[in-house]
Structure 1
């Protein structure tokens, strides 16, 4: 039998920085409200060992099938924690630093907050602002890690995730639909919708909306709106390095250039100019 062409998008890089390959695929269309995308990663010979993981408005679940990672929160003084297997990154209103050994391999799922709430089966405020071991969720979680570790083809991994996530979400208790609706409005506007307008359109109080976001997303809607606006700015920077900071700030809905820089310092640990200097080629992320 011949090899089937990959159904995922591939990026690769090989230089004195090291070698890395990434595979990206969207989930089954039925899962689009719950999963933003899948990513597979395989790295070796990496000459640097620390990356910054920027704040994102998605919950990342990483199935680590390679060497251990060490992860630290720059706002805390305690030593980095080691993650030999899978882990979950709840919503953060900062960045975190990951340290590797020079090689890594695994699969990452970017859940929408509602999707993570349904898949993980727990209130997301319990994992907000922290990273937890995926295996702590029980034997079923550990079995999924083992099954993914036994697969070599990225598309086979993504197919397995499609099936497992669809089954878990089908069995989950449906959440309050207002959070999913508000999430879609925030994403479509890159965080530009006023929270008071969202609660008014839903016919609920701001307090109720914030409480539901705490349960189903982990952070209040205003914080998520800020992260979405920051993500929009990062996306524009990735596509064009030459946009003046004041123009970028205006395009993304910041009050002024200093407002843009404050958010970059909080969510990336650096102003935009330093972000560009630290950015790695071919999807490699940001060096610390």
Structure 2
């Protein structure tokens, strides 16, 4: 059976890159059979969702600290804006930590910018949302960010992420390199990312394992993603994904739950 879910990463316009880390479209067109996996994700998103009845929601979707397995719903299309680290409070009016594990209508958040953003995009064709925001969003946010604090946070995120040529650094080393205490680094991450530096690094490593699982043996993959050994990788993977790596990649997944359609479920 063909995959009923189409996902596509779009080019982020240059004007949006200080605030938007990525843009993705997701469309489910047929009643699918397989479960939909929400991977752990240390990213806050703004989502324009169009349901099968044409109803539109503009939602803030917070970071997910563990994977979820859900039954898919048909005839839903979404545009997801992945917010860059440090963007949640100026755009949405709340720190990223307040949104962890939550799906909230944008116009229920306290930020005036969030309310205006909801009005700006709600009735757009999903394909028009990104170019429209490339014109509207810089004006909304240019005066609302703290460049020095944001730059510090993003340097920490980069240092704790897996790269092709290096494993992530340790939290204590990142704090020392950025000339802040570990407590200050935790506060930066809690507000601007939503999770602690340690949990961010765990999520990033597990997602990298998923992306690279077909390219290297388990032991080599564990070493290049910053684990002490393969056993450490398996433990982390099971904690965040609910099953060990071999079970996940052979389709032996936890039972799926009904998909909750955010505030309209």
Same fold (TM over 0.5): yes
**What is the aligned counterpart of 2:195 among 219, 235, 242?**
219
For 1:72-221, list aligned pairs within 5 A: 85-137=57-109, 139-148=115-124, 151=125, 154=127, 156-174=128-146, 176=149, 177-187=151-161, 189=163, 192-221=168-197
Normalising to structure 1: TM-score of the pair? 0.74
The number of aligned residues is 246
Quote the offset at 1:163 in angstroms.
2.7
Asked if the contact 1:91–1:129 (Cα under 8 Å) also holds between the matched residues in 2, the reply is yes
**What is the aligned counterpart of 1:38 among 10, 20, 23?**
23
Question: Structure 1 246/219 Cα, relative in aligned 2: closer, same or farther at 3 Å?
Answer: same
Normalising to structure 2: TM-score of the pair? 0.79
Describe the SS at the equivalent of 2:123: helix
Asked if the contact 1:278–1:287 (Cα under 8 Å) also holds between the matched residues in 2, the reply is no
Unaligned runs of 5+ in 1: 1-15, 69-82, 280-285
Unaligned runs of 5+ in 2: 257-265
**What is the aligned counterpart of 1:265 among 221, 231, 238?**
238
Asked if the contact 2:24–2:79 (Cα under 8 Å) also holds between the matched residues in 1, the reply is yes
Separation (CA, whole Å) in 2 of partners of 1:145 and 1:59: 17
Asked if the contact 2:35–2:70 (Cα under 8 Å) also holds between the matched residues in 1, the reply is yes
Quote the offset at 1:94 in angstroms.
0.8
Separation (CA, whole Å) in 1 of partners of 2:246 and 2:2: 21
Separation (CA, whole Å) in 1 of partners of 2:246 and 2:22: 28
Please, what is the CA RMSD of the aligned residues? Answer: 2.9
Q: Which stretch of the first structure deviates more once superposed, 183-192 or 249-258?
A: 183-192
Asked if the contact 1:63–1:85 (Cα under 8 Å) also holds between the matched residues in 2, the reply is yes
Asked if the contact 2:56–2:123 (Cα under 8 Å) also holds between the matched residues in 1, the reply is no
Separation (CA, whole Å) in 2 of partners of 1:84 and 1:98: 21
Relative to total residues, which structure has the larger strand share, 1 or 2? 1
Which residue pairs with 1:21 in the alignment? Answer: 6
